Structure 1
Amino acid sequence: MIVTVGNTKGGVGKTTLALNLAIARALSGRDVWLIDGDRQGTAQTAITIRAESGRLPAIACAQYADGSTLRAQVQQVGPKFQDIVIDAGGRDSTALRAALVLSDVLVVPFAPRSLDVWALADICSLIDEARAVRDGLHAVAVLNGADPAGQDNQEAVEALAEFPQLEYLATPIRRRKGIANAAGQGLSVLEMSPRDPKACDEITALVRSVFKSI
């Protein structure tokens, strides 16, 4: 299964979610390939830190910021893996466009802020273009960095009605320091000690929903 975590808006936590999805699948025994489609290479850096620490399971990772290269490598090497997770976006790029055409599922993180919700129009346009090339892309939106209380979360979810391209996954990820700290070490929050039960439950629910969404 090929899953892309992408959005044309930066700062919504794509890399953190991509790392958690990839590592969670590897922890469950799947053979996973994480692809960094961003020129900044943050996911690749995190996996390098993981490898240098000797943490297991090892995660295969490659960086392809060019769309044609990403497409060619996934088509040639991808069949060797059970799951591929692509970290793409932060802007409209050839890598993001290639990933959308290749993927079974697109996960679009968004924050409960008006600017983040309005920005979904851009990724929805790319979803339409990708579906015109290859039918079958399932796109889901996940609230990331959700507020612990207040109305902003619900208002952001309700605003998704303007974007029929996206199915809302009712598995919000709240702002938790442990999730960010884990990613900085090339880890999933599922691997951290002491364990953060709430964060682990949220990530586990997200992984389950994403990989059962088609």
Structure 2
Amino acid sequence: MVIVVGSQKGGVGKTTIATNLAAWLVKKGSDVLLVDADDQGSAADFTAWREANLDQCGYTLVQLTGSNVRKQIEALKPKYDHIVIDTGGRDTTSQRAAMFVCDIYLSPFAPRSYDLWTVTKVATLVDEIQAGREPFAAYSFLSRADIKSADNREVSLALQDYSQLTFLPFPISNRKAFANSASKGLAVFEMEEPDKKAVAELDALFNHIIHGNVITTTAQKATV
């Protein structure tokens, strides 16, 4: 399965989701490829820290950009159980190329008005890619959500208005545990004393994505 984590805005936690998902899939016994398709190289930096702190990284990392992403992923797909692709926070050739070969597209949104403004751009991008290939599952969810805030509910309701992106009610909160673990190249559940709430949030989101995934066309979503 090829899973792309993408957005039209930086700072929404894409790399956090991608790296934790890769480590989570490894923990489940899968052979995983993590692709850093973001020019900033955050997933590669995370992996460098991971290799320095662990005897075994657990997954394979490659850095790919541009249209080469599509060609290389098509060639690599048969070799791995899962491929997780971390793309940049804007409309790039890399993100589009990754979406052309993905099974699942994940787009996190922070509960802020200036983050929500980008949802129309993301929905349009999904429409464009869906028109040129077989249908894939596209999801939105809250990332870096406030622990207690009315903004969470307001943005959640707004995201549900976009049929191109199935909204997942499994928010990832803005917890220090994510930054603390990332600084060591670890997933939150790999810490010596893991934050149980952070772990539970990831488990809920990832279990639904991997085990509850149903690919639905945009037309079918619109009728639900």
One-letter amino acid of the counterpart of residue 7, structure 2: N
Measured after TM superposition, the shift of residue 54 of structure 1 is 2.9
Measured after TM superposition, the shift of residue 95 of structure 1 is 0.5
For residues 15-69 of structure 1, what are the alpha-carbon distances to aligned partners after superposition, in whole Å with 9 as ceiling and x for unaligned?
0000011100001100000001101111011112211223435220111122x21
Aligned to 1:91: 90
TM-score w.r.t. length of structure 1: 0.96
Alignment of 1:46-85 (within 5 A): 46-66=46-66, 68-85=67-84
- Cα contact 2:160–2:166 (8 A) shared by 1: no
Q: Where does structure 1 lack aligned partners over 5 or more consecutive residues?
A: none
Distance 1:185 1:97 in 2: 31
RMSD: 1.2
Count of matched residue pairs: 213
Distance 1:55 1:46 in 2: 15
One-letter amino acid of the counterpart of residue 44, structure 2: Q
Aligned to 1:5: 5
Aligned to 2:130: 131
- Cα contact 2:14–2:108 (8 A) shared by 1: yes
Q: Where does structure 2 lack aligned partners over 5 or more consecutive residues?
A: 215-224
Aligned to 2:31: 31
One-letter amino acid of the counterpart of residue 30, structure 2: R
Distance 2:7 2:80 in 1: 24
Distance verdict in 2 for CA 1:107–1:55, change over 3 Å: farther
Aligned to 2:161: 162
Aligned to 1:103: 102
For residues 176-206 of structure 1, what are the alpha-carbon distances to aligned partners after superposition, in whole Å with 9 as ceiling and x for unaligned?
0011221222211010111211111111111
Percent identity of equivalent pairs: 41
Matched, 1:117 2:113: no
Measured after TM superposition, the shift of residue 108 of structure 1 is 0.5
Distance 1:85 1:70 in 2: 12
